[in-house]
Structure 1
Amino acid sequence: MMRRLLNLVLLLLIAGAGYIAFMAPEKLPFKMPWASTRMAPTGEKGAPTTDTPSPTAPLGEVTDAALKAFVAQQPISIQALRAREYPGSALKVVRKLNPGVNYSRQIVSYQSDGLTIYGLLTVPNGTPPRGGWPAIVFNHGYIPPDEYRTTERYVAYQDAFARAGFVTLKSDYRGHGHSEGEALGGYNDPGYTVDVLNAAASLKKDPRVNRARLGLWGHSMGGQLSLRAMLVDPDLKAASLWAGVVASYDVLATDWNRAPGEEKRTLNPLGRRYLRALSPNAYLKDLNGRPIQLQQGTGDEEVPYSFQQDLAHDLRAAGQNVEAYRYEGDNHNLSRNLGLALRRSVEFFKANL
């Protein structure tokens, strides 16, 4: 059955291209048309391509068990990520920066997959509370890797949590800034998610941090990474996702980033089943009540507001704890309501970490 599934779909995730695609044509046992690659509006290579092979066997012959086993072989899958280990390392201070109002700032490094990854760490001043400070792994959205700088972007966002008494660690991700490794994208390759999970593991090793009070904040692509990390590491207690690319993969493949006038792309039934099973959204019950906060503007031109609506619906259907905020007409960065949105996220973490 597994071989038949391979022959039917072969919707493999290829590392190195930065987007979800099909296997090379010379490796397919049949002829298949190819779609052109299109860039996500933020510049990242995002949505899956949508051409699917025309199977010679009935689609219904692929059982759910066989499909699940095939999905588990994909490195980006939740099953494969859960099978890995995330030891992290002690955080090494590389450079001290000018302090914030009531917190210190340092560029630090940690280990992930044998790579040295850099990030920006903030630590509240004073004596930690009993058990240590609560901490937030801060996951930025897409920035062209060669343009990324550790100390640029998201300054006001990270400052809000630092002022409120949280340790924060903003990972650069591999291939960004001075971090080692290759930047292969956040959707088809597990690397960024691995870096996020090792960032969390490194915070757990810090004696100033309370490992029982760890959360995640994620924006755009960072929302996808945060959701996936939550489903892999049960020690991550809560996540606030802003304008997250959090739709199921089949929705990303068909509904995201269409050109003006372009018809809606389609998937055959097996392709849709596969992409749904590959998506983190298929595992929402595994949150086991750990809360998720969603915030997005309806004027977002990068990520459709419907992505937040769909995830909120799916979380509620899965019996999970979710709060969702809508900002009428606001953009991808919630520029018009930034102060309010940050206050809501700070209060969310104070209540849940």
Structure 2
Amino acid sequence: MRALIILLVLAAVAWLGYVTLTQGAGSLLTGQGSFPQQAERPQLPDAASAQPDRALQARLLAEAVARQPISIQALRAREYPGSALTVERELERGGGYSRQVVSYRSDGLKIYALLTVPDGPPPEGGWPAIVFNHGYIPPAEYRTTERYVAYQDAFARAGFVTLKSDYRGHGDSEGEAGGGYNDPGYTVDVLNAAASLKRDGRVNPARLGLWGHSMGGQLSLRAMLVDRDLKAASLWAGVVADYAVLQTDWHAPDGVQRQLDALNREFLRQLSPNAYLADLNGRPIQLHHGTADKDVPYSFQVALASDLRAAGQGVEAYRYGGDDHNLSGNLALALRRSVEFFQRHL
């Protein structure tokens, strides 16, 4: 998980957000991730005023968030054309479906992925399809055909096309692995994977969903808020609490909660997908989490479910008492529930 590195990055982002808000103009982060240059302070209300200009503060906050490449606003401003799926290697067949290593284009990079396609002619309009988003695996150790085999198998047997992206910098994929929380690259790769599926004549572009595990849960949630064509998402043990919670509660030393001032807390909150859940407009989310998960706490699922309800969205949440990060003790049950979820909504 590289939790410590992630927390340090988030702490830097929070600090930079505060600097930008108090200094005004200037980029929050440059392309190299360096600190912003000193900027001219914006015109503020008369210091004698008893009330701060909250509208100005809110505007500066929104501008600081939008300048972050990982923000929902910045991601929505980009284009995701995808490409045709190019077959790189044929694999041993599954039960009633083909398996291939394919590639597609994302940000000009060649990204590898594992594609499964059910046997036989597609139904009218094309097969429903699921973009599979894997959790954190050290990029140098990642292999396209390892792990998550049983997960894709369950959906392929049920009549879904699945595409598991390797993400940039993983396996043979081009590019650098920048992580899933402070760098937009993996999310861009997920969105281009979805766009590539839409271009495939065997797939129904109106019947696309997302499945994500751990870090892949965060990527899936963010992608769904960017691409309105993605109809449903099933998230397993997802890193789906908002960024302020990740900064203060995740792997805190000796269980002591870290502290954030109100401004930085709000900056991190608005940088999170959780702040935009109302934009789902009723598109369904399903959650699965084990209470004995030592990598991603069950409280993260509770937090997202609460945020979804507060945003007026429905949520289907499953709690697996005593189970681990991979839901090893309830794998068949969780897979059946996920398959049935997509059968209802795609």
TM score, norm. by length of structure 1: 0.86
Alignment check: 8 A CA contact 2:104 2:110 kept: yes
TM-aligned CA distance change 1:314 to 1:262, over 3 Å: closer
- Determine the structure 2 residue equivalent to 1:32: none
Structure 2 counterpart of 1:7, one-letter code? Q
Counterpart of 2:275 (choices 265, 278, 282) is: 282
1:161 paired residue among 141, 155, 179: 155
8 Å CA contact 2:27–2:67 kept in 1: the answer is: no
**Shift in Å, 1:14:** 7.5
Q: Does 1:215 align with 2:215?
A: no
Cα deviation, residue 321, structure 1: 2.0
Residue 322 (structure 1) aligned with residue 315 (structure 2): yes
- 8 Å contact from structure 1 (residues 119, 172) kept in 2: yes
Q: CA deviation at 1:269?
A: 1.1
User: Do structure 1's residue 264 and structure 2's residue 264 form an aligned pair?
Assistant: no
1:103 pairs with 2:119 = no
Aligned to 2:122: 128
Q: In structure 1, the residue corresponding to 2:140 is in which secondary structure?
A: coil
Q: Secondary structure at the match of 1:146?
A: helix
For residues 314 and 179 of structure 2, the distance between their equivalents in structure 1, rounded to whole angstroms, comes to 29
The one-letter code of the counterpart of 2:295 is E
8 Å contact from structure 1 (residues 214, 236) kept in 2: yes
Maintained 8 Å contact 2:165/2:193? yes
Aligned pair partner of 2:339 in 335, 342, 346: 346
Any stretches of 5+ residues in structure 1 without a counterpart? 18-22, 30-57
Quote the Cα distance in structure 2 between the aligned partners of 1:104 and 1:345.
21
Matched with 2:135 is 141
Q: Aligned partners of 1:175, 1:16: CA distance in 2, in Å?
A: 18
Structure having the higher helix fraction is 2
Q: Give, in whole Å, the separation in 1 of the partners of 2:73 and 2:175.
A: 23
Render the CA deviation track for 1:136-191: whole Å, top value 9, x for unaligned. Answer: 00000000000000000111011101110000000000000000000010000000
Residue of structure 2 aligned with 1:174, choices 152, 168, 171: 168
**Range moving further from structure 2, 233-242 or 318-327:** 318-327
Asked if structure 1 preserves the Cα contact closer than 8 Å seen for 2:244 and 2:268, the reply is: yes
Partner of 2:226: 232
Whether 1:254 aligns to 2:248 is: yes
The letter for the 1-side match of 2:81 is P
What number of residue pairs does the alignment pair up? 317
**Corresponding residue number in structure 2 for 1:197:** 191
**Residue 335 of structure 1 aligns to which amino acid in structure 2?**
S
> Which residue is 1:303 aligned to?
296
Cα distance in 2 between the residues matched to 1:6 and 1:112: 36
Q: Displacement, 1:268? A: 1.1
User: Could you say what secondary structure the match of 2:276 adopts?
Assistant: helix
Q: Which amino acid aligns with 1:239?
A: A
Change (3 A) 1:248 1:4: closer
Change (3 A) 1:302 1:9: farther
Find the aligned partners of 1:9 and 1:250 in 2 and give their Cα distance: 24
Aligned residue number for residue 43 of structure 2 = none
Give the drift of 1:73. 1.0
1:7 corresponding residue in structure 2: 23
Deviation at 1:3, TM superposition (A): 8.8
Instruction: Say if 2:26 and 2:37, in contact at 8 Å, map to a contact too.
Output: no
SS of structure 2 residue aligned to 1:227: helix
CA contact (8 A) 1:140 1:221 kept: yes
> Structure 1 pair 243/272, CA: closer, same or farther in 2 (3 Å)?
same
Residue-by-residue CA offset, 1:101-142 (whole Å, 9 max, x unaligned): 000000000000000000000000001000000000000000
Tell me the C-alpha RMSD between the 2 structures.
2.2
Decide whether the 8 Å contact of 2:24 with 2:60 is kept in 1: no
Counterpart-to-counterpart distance in 2, 1:164 and 1:3: 51
Amino acid at match of 2:229: D
Match of 1:117 in 2: 111
Residue 69 of structure 2, aligned match among 75, 96, 100: 75
Match of 2:235 in 1: 241
CA distance 1:15–1:337, shift in 2 (3 Å): farther
Q: In structure 2, how many angstroms separate the alpha carbons of the residues matched to 1:71 and 1:313?
A: 23
Q: Deviations over 1:203-249 (max 9, x none)?
A: 00000000000000000000000000000000000000000000000
Paired with 1:132 and 1:64, the residues of 2 have a C-alpha distance of 45
CA distance in 2 between counterparts of 1:95 and 1:131 reads: 27
Q: CA deviation at 1:7?
A: 2.5
Distance in 1 of aligned mates of 2:22 and 2:104: 38
Q: Secondary structure at the match of 1:226?
A: helix
Superposition pairs for residues 24-43 of structure 1, below 5 Å? 24=35, 27=37
